[in-house]
């Protein structure tokens, strides 16, 4: 699979990704400005996956889905945040956002769309209920949302967060992936599983 097209935008400098899956364009997350970015390049996603429901990842989601006329996917446990984003006003949401409904809820047991060849979903909560990572074993790419960063992990002090659950999920589901796996996170630069095993200060207990 080719390298993703990367967009970073919004107050939290949130990453969004556009993947070309043999002509099927899959967008992952929708921070502020991502829709304009796609419009200028005349790139209409065929689907949108939201890794989780925090405001900085869903800012453009409803408008993007309307414009592209594409299905939206996310985990059922994050549906509350996506469908009632005003709930996030209490922890940093800077303005009212449009709710975004899922065309289909996904979890680890749900068959994935046929246009996502040999992809696997990993459910790794702890930063946010319903946090999903999308893994492509053949290309060695992991789109991890706010689970694992270069020298960091997702914060666990927001509603529904748990340090224990997050680190347990990283230990069981993320760190066993091949060391050369490229991690494309929700914030900051990409990294690899091997690099994070060596240098990430948060993973001492998880390794």
Taking the chain, what is the end-to-end CA distance rounded to the nearest angstrom? 29
Q: Is residue 11 part of a domain?
A: yes
Distance CA 170, CA 72 (A): 25
| Structural domain includes residue 130 | yes
Length of the chain: 207
> What pLDDT is attached to residue 2?
86
Confidence at residue 92, expressed as pLDDT on a 0 to 100 scale = 62
Query: Between 61-68 and 34-41, two packed helices, what is the crossing angle to 10 degrees?
Result: 30
> What is the CATH classification number for the domain harbouring 93?
3.60.15.10
C-beta of residue 169 within 8 angstroms of C-beta of residue 145: no
* Under-50 pLDDT residues of the chain: none
Give dist(CA 72, CA 153) in Å, integer.
26
Tokens of residue 144, six digits: 């991890």
In this structure, is residue 207 part of a structural domain?
no
Q: What is the pLDDT of residue 160?
A: 87
Q: What is the DSSP string of 38-98?
A: HHHHT---SEEE-S---HHHHTTHHHHHHHHT--EEE-GGGHHHHH-GGGGGGGT--S---
CB atoms < 10 A from the CB of 115, how many? 14
Residue with tokens 């989780």: 52
Q: Which of 97, 43, 51, 107 minimizes the C-alpha distance to 70?
A: 43
Those residues with Cβ within 8 angstroms of residue 15's Cβ, 6 or more apart along the chain or in another chain: 6, 7, 8, 29, 31, 184, 185, 186, 187, 188
Hey, which residues does 184 pair with through a beta bridge?
143
Residue 109, in any domain of the structure? yes
With respect to residue 205, please indicate whether it lies within any of the assigned structural domains: no
| 118, part of any domain | yes
Q: What is the pLDDT of residue 84?
A: 87
Sheet containing 141-145: give its strands across: 120-123, 132-136, 141-145, 182-185, 191-192
Quote the domain boundaries for residue 100: 5-199
* Total structural domains within the chain: 1
Is 204 domain-assigned? no
């Amino acid at each position: 699979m080719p390298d993703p097209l990367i967009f970073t935008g919004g107050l939290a400098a949130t990453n969004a990704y556009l993947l070309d899956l043999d002509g099927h364009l899959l967008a992952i997350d929708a921070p502020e400005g991502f829709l304009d970015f796609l419009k200028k390049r005349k790139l209409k996603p065929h689907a949108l996956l939201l890794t989780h429901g925090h405001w900085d990842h869903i800012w453009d989601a409803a408008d993007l889905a309307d414009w592209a006329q594409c299905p939206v996917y996310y985990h059922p446990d994050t549906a509350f945040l996506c469908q009632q984003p005003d709930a996030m006003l209490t922890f940093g949401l800077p303005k009212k956002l449009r709710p975004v409904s899922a065309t289909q809820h996904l979890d680890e047991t749900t068959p994935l769309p046929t246009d996502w060849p040999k992809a696997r979903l990993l459910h790794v909560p702890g930063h946010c209920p319903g946090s999903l990572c999308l893994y492509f074993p053949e290309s060695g790419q992991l789109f991890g949302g706010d689970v694992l960063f270069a020298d960091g992990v997702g914060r666990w002090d927001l509603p529904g967060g748990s340090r224990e659950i997050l680190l347990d999920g990283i230990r069981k589901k993320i760190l066993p992936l091949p060391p050369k796996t490229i991690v494309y996170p929700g914030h900051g630069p990409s990294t690899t599983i091997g690099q994070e095993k060596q240098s990430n200060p948060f993973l001492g207990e998880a390794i």
